[in-house]
């Protein structure tokens, strides 16, 4: 009986440790590997022209067949699409990143603030380099509902929304003592990222495969940042999570 009770206590401690440490680590590594693999697969299909039929069908499905300049739905839905797409714009993301960095500085987390700047800047550089490397033209099947300046693949709005919102959510969640608050921040970040990407296709400024590639690349980068932050924290290079207790 004593042996069974001891084994049960050991199992409970192991499960608790798995929930706090190994499971999040496993999920982050899976997201990094899966996101990287998915992006490479999408990139290969795009270069071979394998996504053209899927892209065209979905893009046209969101338009009035009698007037391709008119997205499906009432006018307020189109305006909402512009609102959502603005959440992935450079101005909004820079303002948000600067605000969180300022919060970290004022709260005494100076090294975490520096890490945040490096993580977000690195994501922006990666997005820019990928766009230059693939140099895919923007969709020409429908009129654009938003002004565009750069190449199409991957979607910069989608990728930088994933990079910014997910990375900031991960950093801010470190300071939350309750798991439900951590999960809430992450779910909001995912929701914002999804809305930004969907709006880019709805407005006709990106092929659907551009958005999928942006999501996967952005999620992979955010996962890499989480793993880096965790490693730096364990070595005392950035401030520890006050909820971690170790």
Is residue 157 annotated as part of the catalytic site, yes or no?
A: yes
Is residue 178 annotated as part of the catalytic site, yes or no?
A: no
Question: What does the domain layout of the chain look like in residue ranges?
Answer: 75-240
Give me the tens of pLDDT residue by residue for the chain, a chain 246 residues long.
454 445 545 544 544 444 455 556 667 777 778 888 888 888 898 888 888 999 999 999 988 888 888 888 898 999 999 999 999 999 999 999 999 999 999 988 899 999 999 999 999 999 999 999 998 888 888 877 777 778 889 999 999 999 999 999 988 887 777 788 888 988 999 999 999 999 999 998 899 999 999 999 999 999 999 888 888 878 777 776 544 444
DSSP 86-131: HTTSHHHHHHHHHHHHHHHHHTT-HHHHHHHHHHHHHHHHHHHHHH
Q: Which one of the listed residues 110, 144, 157, 178 is annotated catalytic?
A: 157
Neighbours of 180 (CB within 10 A): 8
Torsion sign, CA atoms 84, 89, 92, 96: positive
| Integer Rg of the chain from CA | 21
What is the C-alpha separation between 203 and 180, in angstroms, rounded?
34
Name the one residue in this structure whose structure tokens are 């798991």. 179
Q: Which one of the listed residues 109, 110, 144, 206 is annotated catalytic?
A: 206
Q: Give pTM, 2 decimals.
A: 0.83
């Amino acid at each position: 009986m004593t042996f069974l009770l001891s084994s049960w206590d050991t199992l409970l401690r192991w499960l608790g440790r798995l929930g706090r440490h190994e499971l999040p680590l496993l999920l982050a590594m899976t997201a990094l590997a899966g996101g990287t693999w998915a992006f490479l697969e999408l990139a290969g299909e795009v270069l071979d022209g394998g996504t053209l039929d899927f892209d065209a069908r979905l893009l046209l499905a969101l338009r009035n067949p009698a007037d391709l300049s008119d997205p499906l739905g009432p006018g307020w839905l189109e305006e909402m699409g512009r609102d959502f797409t603005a959440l992935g714009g450079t101005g909004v993301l820079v303002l948000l990143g600067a605000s969180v960095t300022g919060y970290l500085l004022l709260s005494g987390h100076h090294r975490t603030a520096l890490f945040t700047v490096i993580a977000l800047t690195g994501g922006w550089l990666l997005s820019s380099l990928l766009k230059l490397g693939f140099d895919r033209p923007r969709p020409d099947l429908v009129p654009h509902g938003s002004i565009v300046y750069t190449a199409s693949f991957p979607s910069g709005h989608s990728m930088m929304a994933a990079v910014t919102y997910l990375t900031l959510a991960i950093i801010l969640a470190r300071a939350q003592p309750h798991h439900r608050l951590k999960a809430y921040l992450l779910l909001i970040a995912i929701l914002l990222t999804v809305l930004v990407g969907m709006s880019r296709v709805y407005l006709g400024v990106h092929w659907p495969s551009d958005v999928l590639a942006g999501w996967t690349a952005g999620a992979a980068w955010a996962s890499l940042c989480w793993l880096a932050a965790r490693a730096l924290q364990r070595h005392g290079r950035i401030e520890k999570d006050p909820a971690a207790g170790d």
